[in-house]
Chain A
Amino acid sequence: MSSVERNTKGDGRYWRSLNELADAPEFRRHLEREFPAGGDSPPAGVSRRRWLQLMGASMALGAASGCRWEREEIRPFVKRPEGHVPGVPERYATAYDLSGTGRSLTVTAFDGRPIKVEGNANHPMSLGATDAWAQAAILEFYDPDRNARVLLREQAGQRAASWDEALSCLRAAIGTAREAGGAGLAILAEPDSSPTRARLQVRLREALPAATWFEYAPFSDDQCRAGAVLAFGRGARSQYRLGEADVIACLDADPLGHHPAALRHARDFAARRDPDRGPMNRLYVVEAGYSTTGVCADHRLPLRAGHVPTLASALEQAVTVLLDGKSPAAGDTDRDRFVRVLASDLVEHRGMGLVVAGPNQPAAVHAAVHRMNQALRNAGKTVVYTALPDEGRPTHVDAIGQLAQAMRDGQVKTLLVLGGNPVFDAPADVAFASALARVPESFHLGVYNDETSRACRWHLPRAHFLESWGDVRAYDGTYSVTQPIIAPLYGGKSAIELLAALLEENPPGPRQLVRETFQAVGGGASEADWRRTLHDGLLPESGGRPLELFAQPRSASEPELAATSGDGGFELVFCLDPAVHDGRFANNGWLQELPDPLTKITWDNAVLVGPATAERLGIVHESLATLARGGRSLDIAAYVLPGVAEGSLMVTVGYGRTAAGHVGGDTVLGVESVGVDTYALRTAEAMSVATDVAVSVAKGRYRLATTQDHHAIDRVGAAGRDARVGQLVRATTEEHYRQHPEFVEHVVHTPELKSLWAEKAYDGHRWGMTIDLSKCTGCSACVVACQAENNVPIVGKRETMRGREMHWLRIDRYFEGAPEDPSVAIQPVACHQCELAPCEQVCPVAATVHSAEGLNDMAYNRCIGTRYCANNCPYKVRRFNYFNWHKDLKDARNEVVKLMYNPDVTIRHRGVMEKCTYCVQRIQAAKIEAKNAGRAVGEGEIQVACQQVCPAQAIAFGDLADETSAVAAGQRSNRAYALLAELNIKPRTEYLARIRNPHPLLGGTPELSDDERSGHTG
């Protein structure tokens, strides 16, 4: 294991990949090409000759049809709904459930069609923010692959059927089961926080007492629940108050990333990362691979997931000893030192600290954490406990195992699967698919005709949350109603509709079902109460009350906190994927193309290994590795990622779908799967960590579409950049910052900058942006938000490999320090709207020019595609349409996709350059509204898409001419600096330097000291 000190000290050199650090030949080859391999190749598919022929023909056609464009029709409403103004976007509050936790949203509808999702600013768990998954819901909603209708599997394959057929078949099966009190009927549901579903579940149990109900999701909080039972004698949910915590210790936990309350956590955490606003918090993370939380850590200890229990045990001992006033056992390894410092920091900040354990850790770790939080008097302050909505349910692993056993034993005559995709994601040793084959009558209610639907006799299309009534409870218990924004596109039904149809011949409508629940949960009886909840998107004060819980001392029956993996060998850790989640979003192109926050892989998954482990295994980057376990094996590309704990192999799940659709892979359609299905190695007893994995090098190489080395310039330039990354990402420690508040100014000293051109004066609005590197967690929600707002296309894996990705906002990730244990810097980069923009000087047709408010405008219809501007852009944020990415829209199958686009933003055609516009359509809309009302545009009235979605509020946007605006205050602050300011391009976007808060005993040396890297050369 490498040194913790090195982690914080570093040598000050930043790098983007191991190849770059080692100056590997591949990287050099990559650099020496002006464009990535194939980047300068002509459009594939159509030969030039054929293209000219086609063009000739279409010109002739164009001439024949006259010079006017298409005849358009205006079809007004017959009776326009009151208050509706055609073309004016409307916003509605709604909510959706992801893996058993509700999330409150506001959805923008344009002429009745949802086009954009935002968080609900009134909701305590969102505060206006969303994650990438919610942002991508729009694409999922319009996905033509959802158009499956009711399907019945027969000998020849699936055939279209009707809801009437399906329901009568289902009712007949239930009628048979009813005679036996429900025996023979089993329901497998995905976890869902819906109180209406819970109510119907109770009614079903009353009607059919012998029917069985199981719940399963591949990732659950079962261990957290079991840990609470160990500690408190009952289940409880921990609600963290990260904003109150001065010291946060995460044991294989990711409260800022994969956590149902991550949005709120990120907001609270980030609020304590601004050194100019009160004391900063300090974050310690122990983890095997990098999580979002690990990226933000002040101290990160890479440790095998299987070794975390022993560390937790050592930490508990050290805390106990310190609380007793004694000094903890001395030890000299990095890990001992880490534990000692962390324990003393926690004890020092008693009542203001917080220890968090992750869902991958066994129950005993959670129990130890509960005891520590109590002993440290954190409980009740930085962590409060609320009741579980479904206390006492069996664990998901047990449930799926019991169900599969019952199916194999022939006890299940009728199976109804409500959501989820167990055929794909159940533990491999449960052999769910083969058990399902024994069930005579099976139904799957799913958004897609997926693996489970194809294995069941019936596929029932499920209504998307944007087109159905429902209700949810957020992580804190707050009740919200899901209201449909549009009528079901493909005739789907929601889970509650289907359940109600089972209970009654003529069930009440879904709205009525939810309305009844609303009254039952205390929402009030009046129509006004109901309407207020619909409007606000939540029922206030409906969250869970804090419980007074007391953690029992460790009982003798409690399992020992022992390492679950040995020192030798390897452990294989299964993680949720930051893009496709558990596989459910595999057919979502926005998420598939979203670069992983750390690896920057798109359109794939890989096994992540640390450099030392890779060396031990003989694995090189992008080689194929064979992972074998219990008679099952798979070949997967290896990605050598710095900072992965020695002996750990990390894989994310959700790839390798065989029935996802045209994007994620489909064997019936002949679409190759994206990535590799790693569920194949996941078994019931090793849901999070498998220790008995055999790894060998497979033959062959595999190219991953990573975006991390894109836009690297030539060797001379790269060397210059390497020397300069410290200037690009300016960071220091809090201590150093307090002593040298003006440190950012001294990173680069340049001679007086003189402009070659007459500088323009700006007397109106001056739009500007700040991005706070102290707050940004790299969660990437902004990338998808930008894509949804600005009609940014996806390009696919092949074109991404050629550097043709279209994201207007990219997130640069740099490593610093030793490869085994580096620290990470994250920097979102979009167009900086330079006042003296280099791109504008080289455009031969004035397609990119400056506006009076300082925006670097792009006139798409003028652009002739020379790409000079992209070449001359120092930030490399301009994106070129090498193809007509929207060509597919002409396909009749994709007719519905046209409804998805933001009508306020032009769809760019092939041969046109594009880039971030500061969401100029939002600026113009706000300006017109304000001017019509005869007032000025107020501060905060314009929120750009990336800013609005950011859970950490790292992005500020506004008018620099307004002294009181947040962005003006940000740019005045000590931490503000402009990227490449020495080029005298006067960017409007500025960064706020990253300030960390390391513990002095763990190497609080500034990452950047004045004498080491001062830039006093200029």
Chain B
Amino acid sequence: MNETYIPRWLDRAKPFLGVGAAVGTVYLIVVVGFGAAPRTTDVGYSPVQPVEFSHALHAGQYGMDCRFCHTTVEGAAHAAVPPTATCMNCHTTMAADEVRGKKLKLVRESYQTGRSLPWVRVHDLPDYVFFDHSAHVARGVGCVSCHGRVDQMERVWQHETLSMAWCLDCHRNPERHLRPKGSVTKHDWEPDEDPEQLGRRLRQEYRINPSTDCSTCHR
């Protein structure tokens, strides 16, 4: 009476259980490993911004330096998004034409009303990670290393995974991402010599010894 009833058909299904388990495992690996990996979910993230600002035009075609707008990148943790006033520095002096008039409507409104533009954050680290731009820029890590060729992006997208493994890759072997300090913001910079060799030389010269302690990023 206490015996558990096991249906007979299960005996026939037995040989397939192993197959089912194997397929299930593969499925799990695919879904979790690839489906939820930062490489899939984060890279390429490119939200629509309130203003159709083109980095390709400003940083690429006009060749404006990153620091022209992101002024705080060398001295602070945040490479602050520029205030509306920065846009208007140029856009008040330029002749108005129809296209620009439409595109810049929100910017002008913001400038007149004093209300901030609601830019959408692209590169968003978890709240328990504390990243400092100045610490990296001051040591010759190029903007391109993390942000990609922003000078070729019409609308900015996330170029790297920004995952912890990705951070640690560089903190363990920073050589590949080092460049002379003067060329940090140059998008199209190419080393004149062997990149590995230059990296090793710069690492020594700038005395770069990245820490991989937890508290370096988690506080």
Contacts and interface: CB of A to CB of B under 8 A. Distances in A.
Interface of A: 66-69, 71-80, 85-88, 849, 851-853, 855, 857-861, 904-907, 917, 920-921, 923-924, 928, 931-932
A87 B138 contact: no
Contacts of A859: 214, 218
B20 interface: no
Contacts of A932: 74-75, 134-135, 138
A615 B117 CA distance: 71
A851 B83 contact: no
Nearest to A860: B128
Given A85-B76, A917-B219, 12 more contacts: A68-B41, A76-B119, A77-B83, A77-B116, A86-B72, A86-B78, A861-B128, A906-B219, A907-B127, A917-B215, A921-B219, A932-B135
Contact of A87 (B42, B74, B80, B115): B80
B198 to A, nearest CB: 21
Interface in B97-138: 110-111, 114-121, 124, 126-128, 130, 132, 134-135, 138
A928 B210 CA distance: 12
A67 B81 CA distance: 25
Given A74-B119, A87-B76, A932-B138, A79 B84 contact: yes
A971 B110 CA distance: 58
Contacts of B128: 860-861, 906
Interface string B56-95: 0000000000000000101111101111110000000000
A87 B135 contact: no
B85 A852 contact: no
Given A73-B120, A860-B218, A907-B127, A79 B75 contact: no
Contacts of B119: 73-76
Contacts of B132: 928
A74 B119 CA distance: 5
24 contacts: A66-B41, A68-B45, A73-B118, A76-B119, A77-B83, A78-B84, A78-B114, A79-B83, A79-B114, A80-B83, A80-B85, A85-B72, A85-B75, A85-B78, A86-B72, A87-B77, A88-B75, A851-B211, A852-B211, A852-B213, A855-B213, A857-B215, A857-B218, A920-B219
Nearest to B121: A72
Contacts, number: 126
Given A68-B45, A928-B134, A75 B117 contact: yes
B175 to A, nearest CB: 19
Contacts of B74: 932
Nearest to B124: A72
B41 A67 contact: yes
B197 interface: no
Nearest to A72: B121
Contact of B213 (A67, A80, A857, A907): A857
B83 A85 contact: no
Which label, helix, strand, loop or mixed, suits the secondary structure of the A interface? loop
A979 to B, nearest CB: 23
B139 to A, nearest CB: 8
B218 A76 contact: no
Given A858-B214, A931-B138, A904 B116 contact: no
Contacts of A904: 130, 219
A924 B213 CA distance: 12
Contacts of B130: 904, 921, 924
B47 interface: yes
Given A71-B47, A76-B117, A78-B84, A857 B214 contact: yes
Contacts of A853: 213
B135 A851 contact: no
A859 B80 CA distance: 27
Contacts of B127: 906-907
Interface string B187-219: 000000000000000000000000101111011
Interface residues of B, number: 44
Contact of A78 (B45, B110, B213): B110
Output the residue of A66, A76, A858 with the most chain B CB within 10 A: A76
A857 B85 CA distance: 42
Given A68-B41, A71-B120, A78-B84, A924 B75 contact: no
A717 B192 CA distance: 68
A746 B42 CA distance: 61
Interface centre among A66, A907, A932, by most chain B C-beta atoms within 10 angstroms, is: A932
> Which 8 residue pairs spanning A and B have beta carbons closest together?
A851-B213, A75-B116, A857-B214, A87-B78, A72-B121, A77-B83, A80-B83, A86-B80
Contacts of B47: 71
B43 to A, nearest CB: 11
B178 to A, nearest CB: 15
Contacts of A76: 80-84, 116-117, 119
B36 interface: yes
A861 B164 CA distance: 12
Contact of A67 (B36, B118, B120, B134): B36
B163 to A, nearest CB: 12
Nearest to B38: A67
Contacts of B139: 931
Nearest to B137: A932
Interface in B130-176: 130, 132, 134-135, 138-139
A853 B209 CA distance: 13
Contacts of A88: 72, 75-77
Contacts of A905: 219
A923 B213 CA distance: 13
Nearest to A902: B219
A73 B50 CA distance: 11
A73 B115 CA distance: 14
Contacts of A73: 118-121
A59 to B, nearest CB: 13
B41 A79 contact: no
A861 B41 contact: no
A86 to B, nearest CB: 4
Nearest to B45: A68
A984 B156 CA distance: 54
A74 B124 CA distance: 11
Contacts of B78: 85-87
Nearest to A853: B213
A920 B84 contact: no
A920 B128 CA distance: 14
Nearest to A922: B219
Q: Which has the most chain B C-beta neighbours within 10 Å: A66, A77, A904?
A: A77
A78 B41 contact: no
A904 B130 CA distance: 7
Interface in B2-53: 36, 41-42, 45, 47
